[in-house]
Every structure is written in C-alpha cells, then in structure tokens.
Chain A
Amino acid sequence: MDETLLRSLTPSVLGILVRRGIDFAAAEDAVQDALVEAVRVWPADPPRDPKGWLTTVAWRRFLDAARADAARRRREDLVDEEPAPGPAPTVDDTLQLYFLCAHPSLTPSSAVALTLRAVGGLTTRQIAHAYLVPEATMAQRISRAKRTVSGLRLDRPGDVATVLRVLYLVFNEGYSGDVDLAAEAIRLTRQLAAAIDHPEVAGLLALMLLHHARRAARTAPDGSLVPLAEQDRSRWDTRSIAEGVEILQAALARDQLGEFQAQAAIAALHADAPTAAETDWVQIVEWYDELARLTGNPVVRLNRAVAVGEADGPRAGLTALAAVDDALPRYSAVAAYLHERDGDPATAARLYVEAAQQAPNLAERDHLTRQAARLNALRRR
C-alpha cells in the first residue's frame, strides 16, 4: 500500500468533514482514526474509491465519538444520519486547511506539528520521532494547537506567507527520522501549489527541489558535510533540478518577485554550473542584492559577502563583510574562508576555530574544525 498516496487524501477528507459542520479538532481526530484503519484494512481489501472509503470511515468514527460524548453530556442533538455526499471542491478545502494549520496565533513549532498531522496525515508518533521529542509531548503540542485554532472559521482567507514559512521550516530544519521531512515538505508544497496559483508558492517549491537535488552529494559516506564547491555534481538529481528550474522560470515570468523566488534563483545558478569554477557569481551577487532589498535580513548580507568574494576576489569579499554585523551566526566561518583565500592562513585558522566553537550543529562544527586542522597542518610543514 502506498502510504504517501493514502496521506495525500488527508486534507480533502478533513475538509469534507469540516464543511459538514464538525468542529476541526474532532474532525481531525476522526480522520486520523480512519487513516489508522486504512493502514490495517487496505492491504488485504483495497477500496475502489479510497477517498470515499476514508470519508465514510472518518464520519462514522466521528459519530461514534460524538455519541459517546453526547451520552456523557446527556445531549442528543447531534446529527445521526450520514448526509449525502455533497459537491466537494477539495482544492479550496485543502487550501483552507493549510491556512488554519499555519495560523499566526500558533507558535512555529505548533504550526509545523499541526500541518504535518492535519495536512500531511502523519501520526503523532511519526512527528514525535521526526523531531526527537517524546510522543506524549508531541500529542500535547498538537492538541493545544488544535484548541488554539478550533474556534477560527475556515472560510476566512489566510496569508499565504505564513503557510510558506511553516513549509520552509519543515524542509529546512527537519531531523532525519523514519519520516523524510524534506520529501514530505516538497509533497505538501506541491499540493499547495496545485491548490493556489501564487508565484511565491512556486518559488518555494522550486527552492526545495533545487536543494533536494543536491542531497546525495551534500554528505560524505562518513556523514561529514561536503561543501558546495567540492560536491560531486554528477550525483546531483538532474530531473529534480530541471523541474525546479522550469517552475522557477514560470514564476519569475510573472514579475512578482518574492524572497523564495530570489533564493531559488540563487540555487538555480549553482545548479546550472557544470563545475564550481563556472558558477556565475556576478549574477548571484545581483540576486543577493534583490534578496537584501526584499527581506532586509542581515544573514543575506553575510552570504552576499561570500558571493562578492567569489565574483570580485577575496579583498572585495572582506570589504563587503566589514559592513556586516559580526555577531551573526557563521560570521567567523565566512571571515575564515575569505582570509584563507586572501592568503592569510594564520588568521583563517584562528577564525575557523572560533567558528567551530560557535557552530549551531555538529556537522558544521566538525567541518570547521577540520578546516582549522588542515590549515594548521599546512603551516607546520
């Protein structure tokens, strides 16, 4: 049984239930129950109409739960009969679910968890494993998130930017568990792109595809990071790159530039270079200028300094770096790189050590420590 296919039905089934007037939290529970049931029953007895099957089972589960609830509260005013399946504009339902699960009243971690469960159809256990927290903690995070959004009306138009931020987080900060969160983020963004015509949604999808294409080349067999310039480009996924580039070009043609399109453009220029030496750094600097204009994010100026160093030489890079706040994460790593290229290995080694101490993750720390060790070994010769 294709679990991804099963999970792709989650948002539309949930949307149908919510449109029948069920409270979001109860509907979401019922859909989860139906998914679990499908995993149990389908391998032996696959339904002809998977979505209809899921909707029926979820609806019954809701009625069971509602009856039990009503019995407890001595309230019997709930609908008993299954309503005739009405017209199902599933695209709108799916879209509203994305908006609800990324609602600004949720914290980023709650929005991520709720999106993965209610839109992605992942179980609480899978999400807990993926983020390395106990299942009980994740269950609480999700149920609080559901309570937070339960009172909100689904028909209010949402802000697509909040949804994109959540999907970006799922893609970029995913741990490696038994669920491939990067692939899941791509699936959810693809589904969103099918539901709404928006150049930034396309931009984010392109960005994800272009980065995902390099995944196999990003780590050595021992798990260490391989920097972009040293990656074996024959291991890049050319189909994924081609798709990302095509989506990006169509988005850019609409002339409504946004930060994800600009980021994707930078990724596309890297993907387009047959060798690291052939990278079009001049154009990349221009895209960083666009990105700085669009976001005002200081990290952009740090990355821009690297690009300037490649386009106009390390001196120019160091000059660009001088205008960047030195308290930014990875500032020392960038400074170390530029000083080495500027022919100052002593300063570079010292800065690499500093950068390793400030590294936010183990793989980067090890990489930076190795850079320092490499320079120190050269200097001892």
Chain B
Amino acid sequence: MAKYLLLKHYRGGPATVNDVPMDQWTPAEISAHMQYMRDFAARLEGTGEFVDGQALAPEGAWVRYDGEGRPPVTDGPFAETKDLIAGWMVIDVDSYDRAVELAGELSAAPGAGGKPIHEWLELRPFLSEPPTITE
C-alpha cells in the first residue's frame, strides 16, 4: 500500500533503446502506442492499482513572485532546460517490486517498427503519512 509516480520524460533521461523520435513513426505505430498506454491504465484500474494518469504539453512557462502588488513574472520556455516531463502515472501498489514490475511493463510500450521503446521511466515513491506506531 504505497503510492509511486511513474514519470515519463520527453527528454532528460538516458537514451532509450528504440530511440526513434515519434514524428518518424508511422501513424499506425503512434496509434498502437497510445492504445497500449490506455490499455495499461485500464488494466491497472481493473487490478485496483490505478490512481491517476496525465499527459503534459511540452511547452510551458516559468512563473515567479515579483514582490508585493506586482503581477507575477513569467519567462521561458528555456531551451537549455534539460529535463522535460511528458506525463505521469500514479499507482498504488503493495510493494516496491510491484511498482518496478509495472514500470517495466509501461516502458515496453511499442514504438517504431512496433517494437518496444524500452523507454526509461522515473519511479518515485510518494511521501506517505507518518505511521502511528513509531517506537
């Protein structure tokens, strides 16, 4: 009973094995990839392990406070930002091993040539509530 974030990066992670940019895939390959992701989420809902999944647009802005009474400053996007998050999935599983197993399955989503991308996914545990019994 622990939640994990599976983080998918547009860039910033180590190179994937099947490293062909998506715009070089065939439309059918793109559809197959999307279907795989949907099926994966549906299967996790069926096993009672799915919490959330969202995709993010690659373009975003940086925003910060600029002092009392002033509107926030926006800037960017910065081309030099190395890490770019594409989306996430949140799972609620019984063990770390199960989280790794599921991340491995998600990483097997098909890409160019219908072959698994072997994409690197970042797996991050959620900070939980403190346990009641501590000593």
Contact = CB atoms under 8 A, between A and B. Distances in A.
Given A131-B1, A134-B50, A266-B135, A360 B127 contact: yes
A233 interface: no
Interface stretch (A52-60, A95-103, A167-175): A167-175
Interface residues of B, number: 23
Nearest to B125: A360
Nearest to A107: B94
Interface in B34-52: 45-52
Interface string A288-308: 000000000000000100100
B45 A140 contact: yes
B71 interface: no
Given A133-B51, A138-B48, A140-B45, A175 B129 contact: yes
Contact of B48 (A108, A141, A207): A141
B57 interface: no
A174 B133 contact: no
A114 B134 CA distance: 26
A356 to B, nearest CB: 11
Contacts of B127: 359-362, 365
A113 B45 CA distance: 15
Interface in B46-95: 46-52, 92-94
B131 interface: yes
Nearest to B50: A137
Given A109-B1, A109-B92, A131-B1, A144 B48 contact: yes
A273 interface: no
Interface residues of A, number: 44
Contacts of B3: 132
A303 B48 contact: no
Contacts of B130: 225, 361, 363-364
Given A140-B45, A140-B48, A267 B135 contact: yes
A174 B49 contact: no
Interface in A338-381: 359-365
A186 B3 CA distance: 25
B24 interface: no
Interface of B: 1, 3, 45-52, 92-94, 125, 127-135
27 contacts: A109-B92, A110-B48, A113-B48, A131-B92, A132-B51, A133-B92, A134-B50, A137-B49, A140-B45, A140-B46, A141-B49, A142-B48, A144-B47, A144-B48, A171-B133, A172-B131, A172-B133, A173-B1, A182-B132, A228-B135, A267-B133, A303-B135, A306-B135, A360-B125, A361-B130, A363-B129, A365-B127
